[in-house]
């Protein structure tokens, strides 16, 4: 994709989408993913919601299975809407990492079955 193509796409976004894009770019520049931590020895070092043992990939997987944000918040009462927003931004910016972790987990589950 060229910079001009990207510019055209960015300019066609809604104001809300533009704000989300700005937030995503700002996060990716400083690599400081507020609310997301990776700690060796905790959840295999996977990206988690800060202060929890809830991996981002688990939330992404549930979302793909049709679980709504409000259902996730009900199922994980320690999470906030901000935590979910941080998880979604992180997942978008690290899609391959999340996809790989989901695949590895699925393979591990299949071996157990």
Task: Give the bridge partners for 48, in sequence order.
Answer: 37, 55
Q: What pLDDT sits at residue 56? A: 97
pLDDT digits 0-9 by tens, 47-79: 999 999 999 999 999 999 999 999 999 999 999
Neighbours of 24 (CB within 10 A): 15
Task: Give the bridge partners for 65, in sequence order.
Answer: none
Helix axes 56-64, 95-112, angle to 10 degrees: 80
DSSP state of 44: G
Tokens of 30: 């400083």
Instruction: Determine if the pTM surpasses 0.85.
Output: no
Q: Which CATH architecture has domain 35-112?
A: Orthogonal Bundle (1.10)
């Amino acid at each position: 994709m060229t910079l001009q193509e990207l510019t055209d796409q960015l300019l066609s976004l809604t104001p809300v989408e533009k704000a989300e894009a700005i937030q995503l770019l700002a996060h990716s520049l400083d690599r400081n993913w507020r609310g997301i931590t990776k700690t060796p020895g905790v959840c295999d070092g996977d990206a988690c919601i800060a202060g929890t043992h809830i991996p981002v990939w688990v939330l992404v997987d549930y979302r793909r299975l049709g679980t709504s944000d409000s259902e996730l918040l009900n199922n994980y009462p320690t999470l906030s809407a901000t935590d979910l927003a941080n998880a979604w931004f992180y997942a978008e910016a690290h899609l391959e990492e999340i996809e790989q972790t989901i695949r590895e987990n699925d393979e591990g589950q299949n071996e157990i079955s």
